[in-house]
Amino acid sequence: MTASSSTLKTHYEELFIDGNWIKPTSALDDVISPVTEAVVGKAPVGDLNDADRAIAAARRAFDRGSWPNEKRAVRADHMQRLLDSVIARKEEAIGLMQLEMGFTRMQCEMQFELGFTQITKFIELARKDPMKSLPLLQKNYPDGRRTLGGAVVTRDPIGLVVAITPYNSGFLLGLMKSVPAMAAGNTVVLKPSPFTPLQTMFIAELVAALELPPGVFNVVTGGLEVGQKLTTDPRVDMISFTGSDTVGAMVMAQAAPTLKKVHLELGGKSPLIIRHDADIELAVMAGLYGFVFQAGQGCSMTTRMLVDNRIRPTYAAALTEAVAALQVGDPYDSKTFMGPLIREVARARTEDFCRRALDEGAKLLLGGKRPVGLDKGFFFEPTIFDDVRNDSHLGQREVFGPIAAIIGFDRDEEAIQLANESDYGLGGAIISRDKATAFDMALRVRTGQIHINGGSGGFHPDMPFGGYKRSGLGREWGEEGFNEYSEIKAIGFPAG
């Protein structure tokens, strides 16, 4: 099992703060490969002092720098140059993603493609004048006075945006938060997961080459302590956070005393509804991607499979057969479909889900243990449970590991009800030959996104992404996502 990491920069000693590479006050930390458990890099660990320096720099750049008032086209041109360098250095980006996350190349390519699609969209939006004229207002007062008033609505940057990213998409989300934030005139402090700092240090390197005004973009690494500092400091105006719902709730509470804007992209337990008339092959593909992709480490994966009881045995058997044939192991082997989990703690949590599912009466069809022969790396077999109760632990909680929960239903109405009996509301999917019925059902499933028969084909640049309920607040992609990073300003004036 080898990572071709010789051409990658995997050793960083400095943080990017205030336009400079700065030695952190604390030590360097090892970056661990989830595939081999070996040390594959070094990165600085930021502390409170570094977080303070980054906040001070970003605050100064917003309050006294040129960036917020810079011409939109100039900011957009900078972001286009950043996108150009991302494309030019794609191999390094993919290499670091694979190294830190242990995903296959195809999975990293898909994250890259999504990032490219969205950043291109953000740059297009950043060039547009957001100002809109409102209808003229004519007033006749009792004293005979008459007025005619005009008004416009425009958008202002919010200020200092802190972006906090999870381990499963540090490069993608580091860019997908920083680019719209900067393009809209904000300044940014970006903090990655302590498991995957190198992808974000790489972003810092790309942004450093743009020579933006000092303090517009800053990177601080670190964990809980730094996260708490960034989300409580009164100088910060907005938090754009992606991670678990547990930490999301903490972030919201931490930000509350200073009333920051909080944008949360959190976890899910997304339903895949398979109707009685489904194309089984399509349903199996959706099911397989819904929990094996990235070893289940994706936020909107459809791990809760609601299957019409008339076809449930056929579907369960076909899914089991298809998944059993997949290669699990070294993600650098082009035949591998699924690599490891990120760390031992994630594998132990996945095992605990299996134990509890069996205790709660679910039927194990496949997997449920560590693969034989893969002694190094945090591997776990793709696992399928049938006869899962929707209200069980596995039916309700996000695993973030490769476990599918098959739950039966008898009527469409029941499928909708089960889909909505969840604390989450992020993604969803429906497989049915009857597209009109599927569309009616999609309208009633309470999730931020839902795809019928595989969706629109590729990443739709205008489709907003985000969740209802415990899956978050706000949206991340498209125009809605771009607009999260600005305040709305209305100006009224006498007309004529």
Catalytic positions are 265, 299
Q: Which stretch binds ligand NAD (CB under 6 A): 70-78, 144-152, 242-250, 352-360?
A: 242-250
Given 107, 117, 193, 302, the residue binding ligand NAD (CB under 6 A)? 193
- Minimum gap (Å) between residue 302 Cβ and ligand NAD: 13
Tell how strand 486-494 and strand 238-242 pair up.
unpaired
Position 295 contacts ligand NAD (CB under 6 A):
no
Position 265 contacts ligand NAD (CB under 6 A):
yes
- Minimum gap (Å) between residue 198 Cβ and ligand NAD: 14
Position 231 contacts ligand NAD (CB under 6 A):
yes
Tell how strand 424-425 and strand 468-469 pair up.
antiparallel
Site string for ligand NAD, 334-363 (x = CB under 6 A): ------------------------------
- Minimum gap (Å) between residue 245 Cβ and ligand NAD: 7
Residue from 202, 427, 201 nearest 293 by CA: 427
Position 223 contacts ligand NAD (CB under 6 A):
yes
Residue from 259, 326, 254 nearest 289 by CA: 326
Identity of the residue numbered 94: I
Residue from 380, 304, 385, 293 nearest 345 by CA: 380
Considering beta carbons, is residue 367 or 472 the nearer one to ligand NAD? 472
Residue from 260, 285, 254, 264 nearest 424 by CA: 264
Position 266 contacts ligand NAD (CB under 6 A):
yes
- Give the N- to C-terminal CA distance of the chain in Å, as an integer: 74
Interface of this chain with ligand NAD, residues 417 to 436, rule: CB under 6 A: 426
Please name the helix (run of DSSP H) or strand (run of DSSP E) that holds residue 271, with its range, or none.
strand 271-274
What is the Cα–Cα distance from 468 to 475, expressed in whole angstroms? Answer: 10
What is the Cα–Cα distance from 106 to 104, expressed in whole angstroms? Answer: 5
Residue written as token pair 């002694």: 375
What is the Cα–Cα distance from 369 to 106, expressed in whole angstroms? Answer: 25
Site string for ligand NAD, 387-416 (x = CB under 6 A): -----------x-x----------------
Position 107 contacts ligand NAD (CB under 6 A):
no
- Minimum gap (Å) between residue 211 Cβ and ligand NAD: 27
Position 294 contacts ligand NAD (CB under 6 A):
no
- Minimum gap (Å) between residue 356 Cβ and ligand NAD: 18
Site string for ligand NAD, 6-35 (x = CB under 6 A): ------------------------------
Determine the residue with CB nearest ligand NAD: 227
The residue ranges of DSSP E strands in 292-443, in sequence order, are 304-308, 327-328, 336-338, 363-366, 383-386, 403-409, 424-425, 429-431
Asked whether 86 and 93 are in contact (CB, 8 A), the reply is: yes
Considering beta carbons, is residue 155 or 347 the nearer one to ligand NAD? 347
Q: What is the dihedral of CA 88, 89, 93, 96, to 10 degrees?
A: 160
Considering beta carbons, is residue 228 or 396 the nearer one to ligand NAD? 228
What is the Cα–Cα distance from 483 to 476, expressed in whole angstroms? Answer: 9
Q: Which stretch binds ligand NAD (CB under 6 A): 14-22, 103-111, 165-173, 387-395?
A: 165-173
Site string for ligand NAD, 434-473 (x = CB under 6 A): --------------------------------------x-
Position 240 contacts ligand NAD (CB under 6 A):
no
- The total of other beta-carbon atoms located within 10 Å of residue 116's CB is 18
Position 378 contacts ligand NAD (CB under 6 A):
no
Interface of this chain with ligand NAD, residues 145 to 164, rule: CB under 6 A: 164
> How many residues bind to ligand NAD according to rule CB under 6 A?
31
Given 33, 111, 117, 168, the residue binding ligand NAD (CB under 6 A)? 168
Position 251 contacts ligand NAD (CB under 6 A):
yes
What is the Cα–Cα distance from 419 to 269, expressed in whole angstroms? Answer: 9
- Minimum gap (Å) between residue 253 Cβ and ligand NAD: 9
Considering beta carbons, is residue 98 or 193 the nearer one to ligand NAD? 193
What is the Cα–Cα distance from 215 to 186, expressed in whole angstroms? Answer: 11
Given 120, 154, 244, 417, the residue binding ligand NAD (CB under 6 A)? 244
Q: Which residues contact 284 (CB under 8 A, 6 or more apart)?
A: 315, 318, 319, 322
Provide the 3-class DSSP secondary structure of residue 402.
coil
Q: What distances in angstroms separate CA 323 from CA 194, 286, 317, 384, 402, one per listed residue?
A: 32, 12, 10, 9, 11
Given 68, 130, 215, 243, the residue binding ligand NAD (CB under 6 A)? 243
Position 267 contacts ligand NAD (CB under 6 A):
yes
Asked whether 403 and 353 are in contact (CB, 8 A), the reply is: yes
What is the Cα–Cα distance from 370 to 379, expressed in whole angstroms? Answer: 6
What is the Cα–Cα distance from 81 to 308, expressed in whole angstroms? Answer: 50
Q: Which residues bind ligand NAD (CB under 6 A)?
A: 164-169, 191-194, 223-224, 227-228, 231, 242-244, 247, 250-251, 254, 265-268, 299, 398, 400, 426, 472
